[in-house]
């Protein structure tokens, strides 16, 4: 295959080793040819809809083979792939579908019944049944359009809404393939590796690094619809060499190793374990290395920049640090005026390079505000060690909670809480937690005559938002602390929720 575009490069690895699996799930095992045939079938069905180039195709699905084939089919037709968190429901789902102007929604049959009631009934829908084969191609398949060009938008990844309503981040295939190619080369990925992938496929970590990285190298991906520590150990007992996870996953893996000590020796066979999406506590890193002999490699990235920083594959993986810039990325640490700070001083991380987002979907003002002199302003506060290793200190905003690998907007939860008849006002904060990274805690002012409880308000939030956004701790207060201008002073709430066993590092 002549590699002339990012799409060509993505598909090139599928033909390198005929007969060797590239995608393994509970339902199916596919080699490169089998995945391409499944891609052809999806492309023919989408082409029959005669959608204009650049149309957005929303996909609400868990991780299975048809999702990967469908993604490639969308690229092949010059359409835009819009993955949606399968735990979204109600207003969250409606916002993404309507904001992107989806021309079609493809949804797992198992998710359709309780998720789609609020959507426009006129929106074309197509059910996905990962347990069955696609019907045979029609005798005269529609002509297939030319694949995505490097300068066209390939994916709209929706943010977690940490600064308001979630925004669609426009990513080109050139940016994804270029950045993930550089990252996985840095990590030494080869066609002989086998990736155990249990991350969801609606954000950069699982979708871009996992799926796109695996395809680029023609390696085998063992894809799981849900995370189960025992299944990961089984993968490594067979042939897996790489695992990527978030801190919550590693916490559950350590619990599994405590209950099943022989599993540690199985994981010790692995070649690379990486972590991202939130900071990994040094105690977890050290405990993992004690049990498995493996040093977890941490990295840093976000939807708008893809993966910007990484600890080295060969060299020191420093606890609490996220390393140096990935090739192709340039970073600087600046003060509030945008001036670089000296090593050791705290400042905001700014990023530039060829792999940044193309902008926010239909939000030119937000796009302009996110950049300064060509640099993307991440909003993350960092500190540089004297030798250049960067450490993420936290967010500029106290309204961002990182829990279980998700970035969660506190104002979104507060808005839902205020809609409950027992609640007059609410403030939501993230409290350091050994299992979740941060646990969601809510301070609530009650309406007269009501006594709010977590047993009532937790399910109330889960009815309106993804269940991982519900508070895990709650206190009823007479009055929320406010400054002279009436703004709630959230740091003053933290002592209400801290426990003796909470992490302090």
Q: Where are the beta strands (DSSP E) in 200-296?
A: 220-223, 242-245, 272-275
Q: Nearest Cα to 56, choosing from 361, 466, 417, 499?
A: 361
Burial class (CB in 10 A: 0-12, 13-18, 19+), 365: exposed
Four-point Cα dihedral 208, 214, 217, 218, nearest 10: -140
336 three-class SS: coil
Tell me the C-alpha distance between 32 and 14, whole Å: 4
CA torsion sign, 376 to 378 to 382 to 388?
A: negative
Q: Tokens 């991440």 sit at which residue? A: 378
User: 47: closest CA among 115, 119, 129, 142?
Assistant: 142
Packed helices 454-464 and 90-100: angle between N→C axes, nearest 10 degrees: 20
The pLDDT value given to residue 406:
84
Chain-centroid distance, C-alpha 171:
14
Which tokens go with 386? 């004297």
Classify residue 122 by its DSSP letter.
T
Specify the pLDDT at position 227: 94
Are residues 18 and 33 in contact, defined by beta-carbon separation less than 8 angstroms?
A: yes
Quick one: which of 382, 410, 390 has its CA closest to 469? 410
The whole-angstrom separation of Cα 86 and Cα 89 is 8
Contacts of 192 (CB under 8 A, 6+ apart): 219, 241
Q: Which pLDDT does position 139 carry in this prediction?
A: 41
Q: What is the pTM of this model?
A: 0.82
Half-sphere exposure of 316 (CA within 13 A, CB side): 10
Calculate the CA 252 to chain-centre distance: 18
Token pair of 471, please?
């508070």
Reduced to 3 states (helix: H, G, I; strand: E, B; else coil), residue 272 is: strand
Helix axes 32-47, 65-76, angle to 10 degrees: 60
- Our measurement of the distance from residue 102's CA atom to the centroid of its chain's CA atoms, rounded to an integer in Å, reads 21
Query: Which pLDDT score, from 0 to 100, does residue 137 have?
Result: 43
pLDDT at residue 161, as a whole number: 62
Give me the pLDDT at residue 381, please.
81
CA distance 43 to 79: 10
Q: Is 95 left (phi over 0), alpha (psi -120 to 50) or beta?
A: alpha
Residue 401 φ/ψ, nearest 5 degrees: -115, 130
DSSP state of 493: G
Task: Count Cβ atoms below 10 Å from residue 133 Cβ, excluding itself.
Answer: 11
Cα–Cα distance measured from residue 192 to residue 198, given in angstroms and rounded to the nearest whole number: 19
Mean pLDDT by 10 residues, the chain (505 residues): 79 85 94 93 90 95 93 96 90 91 91 76 78 48 70 93 76 97 96 96 94 96 96 97 92 94 96 87 88 95 95 87 94 92 89 97 96 94 88 72 83 89 92 89 94 94 92 94 70 89 73
């Amino acid at each position: 295959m002549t590699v002339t575009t990012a799409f060509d490069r993505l598909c090139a690895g599928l033909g390198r080793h005929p007969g060797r699996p590239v995608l393994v799930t509970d339902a199916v095992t596919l080699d490169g040819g089998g995945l391409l045939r499944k891609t052809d079938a999806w492309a023919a069905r989408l082409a029959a809809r005669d959608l204009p180039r650049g149309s957005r195709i929303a996909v609400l699905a868990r991780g299975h083979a048809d999702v990967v084939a469908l993604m490639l089919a969308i690229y092949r037709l010059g359409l835009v792939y819009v993955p949606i968190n399968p735990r979204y429901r109600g207003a969250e789902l409606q916002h993404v579908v309507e904001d992107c102007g989806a021309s079609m929604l493809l949804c797992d049959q198992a998710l359709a019944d309780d998720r789609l009631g609020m959507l426009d009934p006129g929106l074309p829908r197509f059910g996905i049944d990962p347990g069955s084969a696609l019907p045979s191609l029609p005798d005269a398949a529609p002509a297939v359009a030319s694949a995505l060009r490097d300068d066209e938008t390939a994916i709209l990844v929706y943010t977690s809404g940490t600064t308001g309503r979630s925004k669609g981040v426009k990513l080109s295939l050139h940016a994804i393939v270029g950045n993930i190619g550089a990252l996985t080369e840095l990590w030494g990925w080869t066609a002989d590796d086998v990736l155990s992938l249990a991350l969801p496929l609606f954000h950069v970590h699982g979708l871009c690094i996992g799926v796109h990285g695996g395809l680029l190298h023609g390696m085998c991906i063992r894809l799981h619809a849900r995370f189960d520590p025992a299944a990961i150990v089984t993968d490594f007992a067979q042939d897996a060499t790489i695992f990527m996870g978030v801190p919550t996953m590693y916490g559950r893996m350590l619990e599994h190793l405590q209950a099943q000590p022989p599993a540690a020796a199985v994981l010790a066979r692995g070649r690379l374990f990486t972590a991202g999406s939130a900071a990994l506590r040094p105690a977890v890193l050290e405990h993992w290395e004690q049990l498995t002999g493996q040093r977890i490699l941490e990295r840093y990235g976000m939807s708008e920049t893809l993966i910007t920083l990484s600890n080295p594959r060969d060299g020191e993986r420093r606890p609490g640090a996220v390393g140096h810039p990935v090739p192709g990325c340039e970073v600087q640490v600046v003060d509030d005026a945008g001036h670089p700070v000296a090593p050791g001083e705290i400042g905001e991380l700014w990023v530039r390079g060829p792999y940044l987002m193309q902008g926010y979907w239909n939000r030119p003002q937000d796009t302009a505000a996110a950049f300064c002199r060509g640099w993307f302003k991440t909003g993350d506060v960092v500190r540089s060690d004297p030798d250049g290793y960067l450490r993420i200190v936290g967010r500029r905003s106290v309204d961002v909670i990182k829990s279980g690998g998700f970035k969660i907007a506190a104002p979104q939860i507060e808005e839902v809480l205020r809609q409950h008849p027992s609640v007059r006002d609410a403030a939501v904060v993230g409290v350091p937690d050994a299992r979740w990274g941060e646990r969601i805690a809510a301070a609530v002012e009650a309406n007269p005559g009501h006594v709010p409880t977590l047993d009532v308000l937790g399910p109330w939030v889960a009815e309106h938002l993804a269940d991982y956004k519900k508070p895990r701790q709650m206190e009823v207060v007479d009055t929320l602390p406010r400054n002279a201008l009436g703004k709630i002073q959230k740091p003053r709430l933290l002592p209400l929720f801290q426990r003796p066993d909470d992490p302090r590092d």
